[in-house]
Amino acid sequence: MGKQYHFTKFPGQINASYFVQPHIYAADDFTQAKVSEICKTIDLKINKSNLKAVASFLQACQSLECREPYFSWLYRNGGPLASQATVRQRLEAEGYFNLAFKGFSNCFEGQAAIFELSEKSVSLADSCTFFCSSPKTPVSVSDIGDDDSLAKEIKQSEAYQLILEETNELNDFLEQHPFSIHGTIYNGGLRRKFNHGSLKSGGRFYPGYANLPKQIVRSDGSIVKPRRLATIDGESIAEVDLSAAFLSILAAQSGQWWPEDVDDPYQLIPFVAAGKGDERDFAKVLTSSIVMKNGKLTKVPTSLRLYEPKKGEEYKRFREIASTHTDKELIGQIHEAYPFLSQPFNGQNVVFWESEIIAKTMWNAAQLGIPAYPLHDALFVRKKDAKQVQGLMEGIFRDLLGYKPNTSIK
């Protein structure tokens, strides 16, 4: 077994590159045969729940191709995920992966474990194709129990019922418009997650492709860019982005919008404007960290100061940038560029407004027969629909927050 980290100690540089999805199925005969073969190898009955769990693991293997080999799978042995726990235990016992980090006791109301793929699993899902169905619970709210009064109050509220209805209708619509990316076909499959017992906190969609990297470097040196090969309805896609989403939302809410001739708000930061390119990406990560800390961040995160590119990622000069400036200088320049970051705000509420803009853009697009798949502050759409969806996104932002945002099509 590989090195273990107990839940009382933060795992350091070990982070899950992928979370095993619970609603994955084999999409063709070859993949179905592979799933059945593994079930027999680890002495599992050939039934629907076991086949789905093994397919979920294989899809995780494929998603981790040429990346850091760490993934998360719920570390729970009872309840509705008991069958997945049995499969997980058998796979681990047969050496398909090792436990790398046991997990925090409060994660996912159980244990969120991080595992490391073994050599025998690296190419296990080669040539496999998977299908991702819609989850049974498409809207969730963390930090509430299923039976407590807060949970009942939220789930019976008009706001929750509306969000649930819209998410179900989006999934029903998207089932007719498959999104294929890196070996997995998503027919809907969206789940919207709120935080801290509030429908005004978080609210992003977290599909299985959310943490798929922009490029994958294979062992032979070849480069694969999954988004460029992705399709919706068999057609090539474009990405419609809400530029500088967190900053734009806070600027609009505070009434401190930047001049109309500013195309890129990050250029307002002195070290970005004077930089060589990587400073902008550095500033994006640092600004997001400031927002998630409600504007009270005082130190540059270790992930930036001790940055190491993940397997397959292009190198960025983050360490050099962090070493040539003090934390006070870097964070101070961002606060000076955006004074509203020094005013009281809630970072998770900023995420909520971002998710509302994305959700309403998807909803309005669906009414026009246009499928759109979310990725945080962006949408994947068919190329022919990109301009129209960009207009919808800008209009919804303006309706909600009063300003025309910067958007882009990639």
What are 122-139's pLDDT values in tens digits? 889 988 999 888 777 889
Report the pLDDT value the prediction gives residue 66, as an integer from 0 to 100: 64
pTM of the model: 0.82
- The yes-or-no verdict on residue 232 having pLDDT over 90 is yes
What's the first-to-final CA gap in the chain, in angstroms?
43
Across 332-347, average pLDDT: 96
Classify residue 5 by burial, with Cβ atoms within 10 Å: 0-12, 13-18, 19+.
middle
CA distances from 220 to 8, 66, 123, 223, 256 (A): 39, 10, 14, 9, 50
What does the pLDDT read at residue 365? 97
Structure-block tokens of residue 283: 């500033």
Q: How many CB atoms lie within 10 A of CB 29?
A: 8
111 in Cβ contact with 75 (< 8 Å): yes
pLDDT tens profile 285-316 = 999 999 999 999 999 999 899 988 876 677 89
Residues ≥6 apart with Cβ < 8 Å to 174: 186, 187, 188, 189, 190, 366, 371, 373
Amino acid making up residue 28: D
* Mean of pLDDT values over 147-151: 70
Instruction: Report d(CA 148, CA 145) in Å as an integer.
Output: 6
Backbone angles phi, psi at 278, to 5 degrees: -70, -15
Across the chain, mean pLDDT equals: 86
Q: Is 186 exposed, middle or buried (0-12, 13-18, 19+ CB in 10 A)?
A: buried
Measuring CA to CA, which residue among 67, 72, 68, 70 is closest to residue 21?
72
279 within 8 A of 266, measured Cβ to Cβ: no
The per-residue pLDDT for 359 is 96
| Beta-carbon contacts of residue 399 (< 8 Å; ≥ 6 apart) | none
Give me the pLDDT at residue 32, please: 95
**Burial environment of residue 344 by CB neighbours within 10 A (0 to 12, 13 to 18, 19 or more):** exposed
Least confident segment among 16-20, 22-26, 180-184: 16-20
Q: Spell 55-79 as b/e; 16+ CB within 10 A means b.
A: bbbbbbbbbbbbbbbbbbbbbbeee
Buried b (16+ CB within 10 A) or exposed e, 239-273: ebbbbbbbbbbbbbbeeebbeeeeeebbbbbebbe
User: Angle CA(407)–CA(167)–CA(383) in degrees, nearest 5?
Assistant: 40
Among the listed residues 177, 171, 178, the one whose alpha carbon sits nearest the alpha carbon of residue 138: 171
pLDDT the model gives residue 181? 87
Mean pLDDT is lowest, of 189-198, 331-340, 346-355, for 189-198
Q: pLDDT grade, residue 14 (50/70/90)?
A: low
Q: Which two tokens stand for residue 188?
A: 């809907």
Residue among 290, 311, 310 at smallest CA distance from 300:
290
Q: What integer is the mean pLDDT of 63-91?
A: 70
Task: Catalogue all structural domains in the chain, each as residue range(s) with its CATH number.
Answer: 18-131 (1.10.10), 133-244+348-409 (no CATH), 257-337 (no CATH)
